[in-house]
Structure 1
Amino acid sequence: GYILFGPADSLTLFSGLLVLMLAPEFFQPLRLLAQHYHDRAAALGAAAELLDRLEDLPDKAVQKHENVRNADPGAGIVLDQVSAGFKPGQPVFSELFLTLESGSVTALTGPSGGGKSTLLHLLAGFLKPDQGEVRIFGLAPGEVRFGWLGQQPFLVHGTWADNLRLTTPDASDVAIETALRQLGLGGLIDERPEGINSPVSESGAGLSGGQGRRLSLARILVANYDLILMDEPTAGLDPDSEVYVIEALHKLAVQGKTLVFSTHQPALLTLADHILSVSGRGQVLDTSRGGGHYE
């Protein structure tokens, strides 16, 4: 047998459309419940990992604070017979020996996937070498304060000032506004009635990619780091944003900061004292005048 469905005399086009429009609203509580359930599960998993990492935080925090005071910026950066890679048994670098002078500007060039980011992660302490030793101003990576600028801006929900005070909680309003204006963001501040206390979202809504990157760089200017590491600081920026970033990096170089960045942009190479070509075969070649060969 079979069953016939409709058409029903009482179901008009208007009532049918009304049912279709109300159906999502009817099921919305169930969708929200499922979404919150997954968010809760993700939060519990993240909280468990954070608690494990924070168990020994007080002792480590004291140790790092003491090490920062004992850092010797004049010692420069040394990678001594370092072998490292992200995949076991597939080292990007094998017994690499490399020295960078304190206060120098070093540009890392080379093909994508050649090892530029790996080298930056070694210097930052994000990646530990399989063998050998990395020394930053006489200390191990992670024991020295440094500024990091990735390809994606790191922003938190709050105000412009909140974002710049993430690493320097006691920064004054004057220092924050000076850093923002130095990076060409003064016009945006003036347009907003609340100035540096204007809200900004974690996703940077209302800001272009270049503006978000400059906001992150302003945080580094306020923190006054001796070492600044940057992964493609001008990649994907509009010409105006690129000019402001290059000018800011030039001022940092004049102040004697140690800068290491990866780039494919010729304009950034003009700032560099050393241009290191990372070949992807575990070799680093200094292509600047008087440069050497490292492997």
Structure 2
Amino acid sequence: MKILVFGTNGQVATELRRAAPDAFFLGRDQADLSDPDTCSAAILAHRPDVIINAAAYTAVDRAEEEEALAHTINGTAPRRMAEAAAQLGVPFVHISTDYVFDGSGNRPWLPSDTPAPQNAYGRTKLAGEDAVRAAGGIHAILRTSWVVSAHGSNFVKTMLRLGAEREALTIVADQVGGPTPARDIAAACLRIAQVLRTDPSASGTYHFSGAPDVSWAEFARAIFETAGLDCKVTGIPTTDYPTPAARPLNSRLDCSTTKDAFDLPRPDWRIGLQDILKTLMEARDVRNAGTRT
């Protein structure tokens, strides 16, 4: 199976490189998502068996001021990808987000629920979803949430840094969702792509997030406990931590259709967290060894 991946250094793309080293990965120098025509041209040039889009504009707060650019990267570029995939008749797996919902209530969001994004990032990601569906090809839109890994910038790495520096932190406690290890998202993308090759009727929109659902404050406590850091966490409401872009209070995702269609249960983020900490520790040991030599 010839796999073409958009993205090289993001959290999911990094894990895809580990899981599928023979795949072809397109960086910005080969397919700049701010120039969407380069994306379709790359697909038609490589003629892959499956395509995974693991690249996006993810600066949620900055998107409030750069919505046009975010729309090009998150909306127009996936449209070009999906159109080229449909032209070749190959599956296209596109990663999206819980931010397409407004975050109301406390019931897990179903894939069939009506989106109502409350910030620019969510609007641009919804535009990408709509464009992928409109292309009419074999596709899976995989909405996920709270992505974490040993790579790039994410909540786990931020908490480890702050927890080592401070004795106490205040963390938002009224936003609830499922932390999702990037390694599990990468594996899910590969599994979905494989199934779509033999069963195009499985095309559709799916949810995939880690379990169990927790608040950011609860997640922070779990990170400190697992890492052996003595840092006290006090929960605060979102109103006490204003950000340029509004965050959804309810990021819970109902992932049952993903389990049914692809035999992909929700991953246990607690296991993923242990793997992340192990990877970071090994990387630190390697750096320290290099310093000593």
Query: Max radius of gyration: which structure?
Result: 1
TM-score, with structure 2 as normaliser: 0.28
Relative to total residues, which structure has the larger helix share, 1 or 2?
2
TM-score normalized by the length of structure 1: 0.28
